[in-house]
Amino acid sequence: MRIFAIILALWAGTAQAQSPGDAAIAAAAQLDAAGISLANAQGRRDRVTALTQTVRAYEDGLIAMRDGLRRAAIRQSTLETALAAKSQEVGRLLGVLQSMGRAPAPLLLLHPSGPTGTARSGMMVADVTPAIQAEVTKLRADLAEISLLRALQESAVDTLQSGLDGVQSARTALSLAISERTDLPMRFTEDPVQTALLLASTETLTAFASGLIDVNGSAAPADVQIAKGQLALPVQGQILRAFDAPDAAGIRRPGIIIAARPRALVTSPAAATILFRGPLLDYGNVVILEPAADVLFVIAGLAQVFGEAGQVIQEGAPVGLLGGDAPNARTILTQSEVDLGGVASQTLYLEVRDGQSPVNPADWFMLVDR
C-alpha cells in the first residue's frame, strides 16, 4: 500500500494533480480506513451495524479505486496515442538535435554567405531554440507520466487484492453476526405452515402481498411518510429499467431494475418490519418490507437473504447480498483499461406497493446513482 501511495503522489506532482490521481489516492485511504473498521467491528457491541458500515466502506473504496484506475488507463492511452501520432515529428526533432550535437561548436556559428547570413541564422536559431526546448520538455513530461501510470497499474494489484479480501471477510463476519443476533424486536411470529399455504394458493405478487398483510396485520414499526421521495436505493448501482418499462420480450413489471456489482450489499431503505423473506414465485429470493401501514417494499433477485419474518429492522440494516463472483484484482485492472472498471453484472428488482397497488418507486426513492 505504501509503494502504491508513493507512486500516486509522484504521479500527482508530475500530472499537475490530475483528478484520476486524486480519486485513486482517496480510494486507497478508504480501503485503509475500511481495514481498520473491520478490526474494530469484531469487538464492538453492535457488530451488525459496525460490519454493515465496514462492508459499505470497502464497496465505496473499491468503486473509487476502479474509477481512478479507469481514468488513469484512459489518460495513459491518450498520451500513448498522442505520442504515436507525433512519432515522425519527434523523430525529426531528435535527428536535428543529434546533428547539432555532432557538429563542432565553431561551425555552428558560421554561415557560407558571410557575417550577415551568420547573424540572420543566429537570430533564427535563437527564435527556434525555445520552441524546441519546450517541445522536448513536454515530451519528457509525457514520457515520465506514462512511466508512472504503468507503475501505478502494476502496484495497484496488492491494494485491490487487499480490499477484495477485506470486503469478503467483512461479508462473512456480517452473515455470522446476523445469524447470531437475537435482540431484534418482533412484531409477530411467522407461521411457516400458513406462509406455505399462502404461497401455494397464490399465483401473483399482488395476491401474495394482499394475503400476507391480511395474515399478519399491520406490522409497520413507524410511519415514514416524512421521508417519502427522499429514500436512498437499497443497493449501490444504476437504474437499468424504469417503472413499468417493457423488457426485451415486451414484459412489463411495475417496478424498477437496478444494475449493481456482484456480491453488493443490499440494505433496508427505512425502518421496517420484515413480512417475508425467501423464494417467491418467479422473483427468486425476495425480502418484503413494511415501512408503514399498507406500504410494502418488494426487493427481489437476492442470492442471500438476512433476517427473519416478523423482525423490526432499522434504516440501513442489511437484508441480503446479490449473487455473482467478485472479480480478482487482475480482472479489475484489465477491465479498467477497456471499460467502466467493473461490470455491474447483477440486477435487483424493487417494487413499491401502496394500498395494495404498485406505485412508481420515484414517489418514494431518489432515483440517482449511489
Q: What is the DSSP string of 293-323?
A: TTEEEEEEEESEE-S-TTBEE-TT-EEEE--
25 closest CA partner among 8, 37, 7, 6: 8
pLDDT band at 279; cut points 50, 70, 90: very high
User: Is 132's pLDDT higher than 80?
Assistant: no
Q: What is the mean pLDDT of residues 306-319?
A: 91
pLDDT in tens, 290-299: 998 888 999 9
User: What pLDDT was estimated at residue 20?
Assistant: 52
SS3 189: coil
pLDDT in tens, 143-168: 777 777 777 666 777 777 888 888 88
* 370 vs 360: CA distance, rounded Å: 19
User: What pLDDT was estimated at residue 25?
Assistant: 65
Query: Hey, what's the cell of 358?
Result: 404498485
Domains of the chain: 2-180 (no CATH), 192-363 (2.70.70.10)
Query: Hey, what's the cell of 305?
Result: 437473504
Query: Cell 501511495 identifies what position?
Result: 5
User: What pLDDT was estimated at residue 6?
Assistant: 42
Length of the chain measured in residues: 370
* 297 vs 286: CA distance, rounded Å: 10
User: What pLDDT was estimated at residue 111?
Assistant: 52
User: What pLDDT was estimated at residue 98?
Assistant: 63
User: What pLDDT was estimated at residue 340?
Assistant: 42
Find the range with the poorest average confidence among 63-77, 308-322, 326-340. Answer: 326-340
pLDDT band at 10; cut points 50, 70, 90: very low
Maximum mean pLDDT: which of 119-128, 292-301, 360-369: 292-301
Percent of the chain with pLDDT over 70: 69
* 22 vs 13: CA distance, rounded Å: 11
Q: What is the mean pLDDT of residues 37-42?
A: 76
- Is residue 158 within 8 A of residue 65, CB to CB? The reply is no
SS3 113: coil
- Is residue 234 within 8 A of residue 268, CB to CB? The reply is yes
User: What pLDDT was estimated at residue 368?
Assistant: 66
**175 φ/ψ angles, rounded to the nearest 5 degrees:** -60, -40
Sign of CA dihedral 57, 276, 178, 305: negative
pLDDT band at 116; cut points 50, 70, 90: low
User: Is 59's pLDDT higher than 50?
Assistant: yes
How would you class 196 by CB atoms within 10 Å of its CB: exposed for 0-12, middle for 13-18, buried for 19 or more? exposed
User: Is 50's pLDDT higher than 90?
Assistant: no
What average pLDDT does the chain have? Answer: 77
User: What pLDDT was estimated at residue 128?
Assistant: 60
User: What pLDDT was estimated at residue 269?
Assistant: 94
